[in-house]
Every structure is written in structure tokens, then in C-alpha cells.
Structure 1
Amino acid sequence: MRTLRKGLLTLGMAALVYAMPAAAQKKEAKLGWKLGAQAYSFNRFTLAEALDKLDSCGLQFVECYPGQTIGGSIEGKMDFKMDAAKQQEVKNLLKSKKKTLVAFGVVSPRSEADWKQLFDFAKAMNIQIITSEPRVEDLDIVSKLADEYKIKVAIHDHPKPSHYWHPDSVTAAMKGRSQYIGACADIGHWVRSGLDPVECMKTLNGRIYSLHFKDLNEKSRQAHDVIWGTGVSNVEAVLQELKAQKFKGLISAEYEHNWFNSVPEITQSVKNVRGMIEKL
């Protein structure tokens, strides 16, 4: 009997632990925010292992990236050129881990045929957002395909001197093109480029479709990630601006530090941000 009571108590505690993230997500869902992680945060591990780590962090949504070993008894790497059978295996893996694939990238094909194959892949995998840094000469192709498939393309900013380091270049890419083309706001890379994330977001008002969320220890190209709310990225003001813009989309934790043991820091980051969201 004592063993049974102990087992039931353990199950009850486990149920409480797993209920807590679901309760915390209610405010996010009301805002239309999907708080998840870019699998690149766990690029020393397989996708299958990364999905388990997301679970440990209390996150449901995932942005996959090309080149990650899939794992979980599935051979090969994540690739928009994988065949239908492999795609189904990955979908089964995601379902078994109770994770939702929302975005894929950063991926930037260099031919019209490859762009079309990427959109076909996104459609088959129920991907809502392609994260990309398309060549300027490919933008019209991307615009046409985005309208045809009704899939968003979020232009990502790597630090200066990357072509899209400044929001003005993203604005120029969007001008006169599909409303499905918008921005993936990597707020940490803006800080690395000497920019104010909130001012950058204001420049892109209404066209931010996703974020790579970071807080950095300092304003420099050499800066590294720290727990959200403890660095210089002005995280609380970023969240306030997202709410002001009526943003609806994916917020991907992309933690590029302490690679082999980042789960505690990402978990605390998520807890900190959810506390800020509750006060919005």
C-alpha cells in the first residue's frame, strides 16, 4: 500500500509539472504567440534529442534547421530535399514527442527549382514559416511562390556585414512584393550589429512574422547569450513592442552558448519571459 501511495504521489507530481507549462502558455496563446525553440540551440545533438530538450524547457513549438542529424532510429539529416517517406518519418517523430513544427531555416536556395522544392517540402510538413536570407535576384521568385503556396517567408538578419543586417534592407526586400514576405527578427544579432532591437522592430511594424530570441551579455560582435532578462537586449521592452504591434507568430529561443548544457539556462529564460508576459 505504501508503495502504491508513493507511486500515485509521484504520478501526481509529474502531472503537476507537465500542467504548469500548459497553464503558462494560456497568455501566450491569447496573444497569438507561439513560444518555442530553434533546434539549432541543440546542434550538438540529434533532432530527436533536441525535441526532448524542448520538453525539458517547457516548450511545444520547434523551428528545425537544415543539416541536423534526425536520430530516433531515423537515418539522415534534416533537408528540404528529403523524400516523402523520410518526411513522414520526421512527422511521426514530432507527433511521438508531442512537438509542433512551425518553421524551417535558415535556408536560402539558389535556383528557382530548389525554391519550389523548398515550398513543396514546407507544404508537405505543414510548415508555416520559411526562415531565409534570399539573394536579391531571387526575391521575385520567392514572392511568387509565397503567394502561390500561402506560406510565409521570414527574412532573417545575421550581424553586419550580412546583407540583411539592418531592417532597412529587409524593408527594401519586402517593398512591392508578397504580403507573405516579412521578417524573422533576430534581436541578438541586431544588438551585435550595434542596433536597438525595439527601434528595429518599429521599422518593420506589422511585418515581423517570427523571432530568434536572444539576450546578450554585452553590445558587441563577440557577445554571447545569457538568460533572458539578465542581459542588454531589453527583453521586456521587446515584448511590449510585440504586443503593441499585435504580433502573432513564433518566438524561437536560439541559445548559442553553453552548447552541451544549455537546458537549465533556456528553462530559466522561458520562466523569466513568461513572467514578463503575464504582466503585459
Structure 2
Amino acid sequence: METRRTFIQKGLLGVSAATVIGPLAASAYSTSREGEKTYRNDRFDLGIAGYSFVHFGLDESLAMMKRMDVHYLCIKDFHLPLTSTDVEIAAFHQKLAESDVAGYAVGPLYMTKSKAEIDNAFEYAKRAGVKLIIGIPNKEDLEYIAGKTSEYDIRYAIHNHGPEDKLYPNATSIFELVKNLDARMGICFDMGHNMRDGQDPIRDVERYHKRIFDIHLKNVTAATKDGKTCELGRGVIDIPKFINTLRNVGYDGKCSLEFEKDMKDPLAGLAESVGYFKGVSDASA
């Protein structure tokens, strides 16, 4: 498993990490099984899904992450466009590093128009220095994408979007399509949308954890199509049980909060959710 330091070093594209990253607070570190230092909360890396900051520039987004003491970002293309040059990518990662943030994945990226979009996405991920793409592809392109995961050694996680999504409404719909493909094909598990589709996110983590590469962490107000994103501790999903299930199955991917309530003023809701997640994780460890 790659650590935050590894992500940053890859993203700097040759720039000295010692020059860019600067000193990091030792109290924020724990030691992994491999003996490497990494930002962790119990065993889970807490991040933010970039879509939470759709109304904010990168500087504002990083300032919010600093206030919340969160250090991983799933990169959206409105912060790092697919057309970015290597110089722009290096500057992007330097800015993240200065805020003690690592970009660990890109997406979600829609790629439903042509195979060229798929090709471009893998090149973008490679140049951005990440090993995970969150994507929404056409079903008929999955074998082609599986070939790309092998060629680039980059994992590809399909995002489920609930009952409105005719392609991938829940985790089961994705698993059934990827289970016989390259092992680097998997799921970006949006637990809230899964619940809105009438599914059980805790059961699905147990069933599909080997193919879950990323989690978009959220709670929802109802287990129906009308359910809305809410603060992590206020919805119908049993978050303590969900976290215990992650621990029981040995999940080692990221848990990135995707907060779609109050999107023009998300800090309070995100901060509440961060505190709740850390508190539950610490209490149940």
C-alpha cells in the first residue's frame, strides 16, 4: 500500500520532496505494518472527494482541508484539468504538498463518448502520478479499460450513483460486471447512493471488499431515492457498524468524504463529519 509520502514524491515529477514538503508534525503520524510513516486514523486514511469543493478554487479547498486536519484529496478535473501540462501538474502537487495534502486518485471522470476519452484518462492519471482512476464508463468498454489497467498498472474504480443511474446504481451492478476482469477493475463505493438504491452498504462491504478500491463516505436522510446527503452522524446508515465492518474485512483504501449538502458552504458539515468519523474510529479501535 502506498503512503502519503509516496504519493507526494510521485506527484512532484522530479522536484525534491525535501524542498517542497517541509517539516511535518510528528504527532500526526503512526507507523504502518511496513514500518513506514503515514497519516492514519486507526487504520483508515480519511480524505475529501474533490467534488465536495465544486464551487471553490484549489487554494480555498486546501484551506478548508487544513482547518479540518485532512490530508488526502481525490482530484477533480476542475482543480487539475486533463489538459494540464507537466509543469502545471508539478505546480499543482507542490501546492498540495505545501498544505500537507496528497492527491491519491483522479475522478470521477466520465468517459462515455469514445475510447479516446479512456486513453486520455489513463495518460492523465499517469502524468498526475496517481494509481487510481474513479470513472463512469460505458459497459461495452469495460474489457478495453481492463486492458488499460494492465498496460498502465493503474486501478480503475467505477462509481455507483444510485437509483437515477441506469448504468451503475449500486455496488452489485458493478461487481457483476468486473468480477471476471483484471483484478485492477473495481468499485468506488458510494455508500450513500447505494443506500438510496435500497441496498445495504454494510452487507455490500462484506461481500465486495476485495473489489472496493475507494469509498465515497457519506450518510443519507433516507434509504430511498428521495434520500439526501447529510452529516455523517445524522443519517440512516449505521456508521459505527460500517467502520467496524471495514476493520473486520481489512479494508486499506481511502475513505473520502463527499458532502453534497450546502455545497456553497460545506465547511461546517464536512468538519462535523470529520470529527464524527475520527471519534467513532478511535472509540471502536
TM-score range, shorter chain: 0.7 to 0.9
8 A contact 1:31–1:248 mirrored in 2? no
TM-score (norm 2): 0.81
8 A contact 1:157–1:186 mirrored in 2? yes
Q: What is the alpha-carbon distance in structure 2 between the residues aligned to residue 21 and residue 261 of structure 1?
A: 30
- How far off is 1:159 after superposition? 1.0
8 A contact 2:196–2:224 mirrored in 1? yes
Q: Indicate whether 1:198 and 2:202 are aligned.
A: yes
| Corresponding residue of 1:56 | 67
Matched letter for residue 99 of structure 1: V
| Corresponding residue of 1:263 | 267
1:165-223 Cα offsets, whole Å, 9 max, x none, are 13222112213211111111101101211211112223313111110010122223232
Matched letter for residue 144 of structure 1: G
Matched letter for residue 49 of structure 2: Q
| Corresponding residue of 1:214 | 218
* Match 1:224 to one of 209, 221, 228: 228
- How far off is 1:225 after superposition? 2.5
| Corresponding residue of 1:4 | none
8 A contact 1:21–1:58 mirrored in 2? no
Q: What is the alpha-carbon distance in structure 2 between the residues aligned to residue 59 and residue 174 of structure 1?
A: 31
Q: What is the alpha-carbon distance in structure 2 between the residues aligned to residue 37 and residue 243 of structure 1?
A: 20
Q: How many correspondences in the alignment?
A: 254
Change (3 A) 1:25 1:100: farther
- How far off is 1:112 after superposition? 2.8
1:24-46 Cα offsets, whole Å, 9 max, x none, are 99997386522110121121111
Matched letter for residue 28 of structure 2: A
| Corresponding residue of 2:123 | 120
Matched letter for residue 132 of structure 1: G
| Corresponding residue of 2:100 | 98
| Corresponding residue of 1:131 | 134
- SS of residue paired to 2:109: coil
Q: What is the alpha-carbon distance in structure 1 between the residues aligned to residue 155 and residue 42 of structure 2?
A: 19
RMSD: 2.4
Q: What is the alpha-carbon distance in structure 2 between the residues aligned to residue 264 and residue 175 of structure 1?
A: 39
Higher mean Cα deviation, 256-265 or 179-188? 256-265
Higher mean Cα deviation, 42-51 or 218-227? 218-227
Change (3 A) 1:235 1:31: same
Q: Indicate whether 1:148 and 2:159 are aligned.
A: no
* Match 1:35 to one of 43, 46, 53: 46
Matched letter for residue 108 of structure 1: Y
8 A contact 1:192–1:223 mirrored in 2? yes
- SS of residue paired to 2:182: coil
- SS of residue paired to 1:160: coil
| Corresponding residue of 2:28 | 22
- SS of residue paired to 1:218: coil
1:229-264 Cα offsets, whole Å, 9 max, x none, are 221111111111111111111111000111232212
- SS of residue paired to 1:276: helix
8 A contact 2:39–2:71 mirrored in 1? no
Q: What is the alpha-carbon distance in structure 1 between the residues aligned to residue 195 and residue 134 of structure 2?
A: 20
- How far off is 1:152 after superposition? 1.1
- How far off is 1:19 after superposition? 5.9
Q: What is the alpha-carbon distance in structure 1 between the residues aligned to residue 87 and residue 117 of structure 2?
A: 19
Change (3 A) 1:36 1:30: closer
Higher mean Cα deviation, 31-40 or 55-64? 31-40
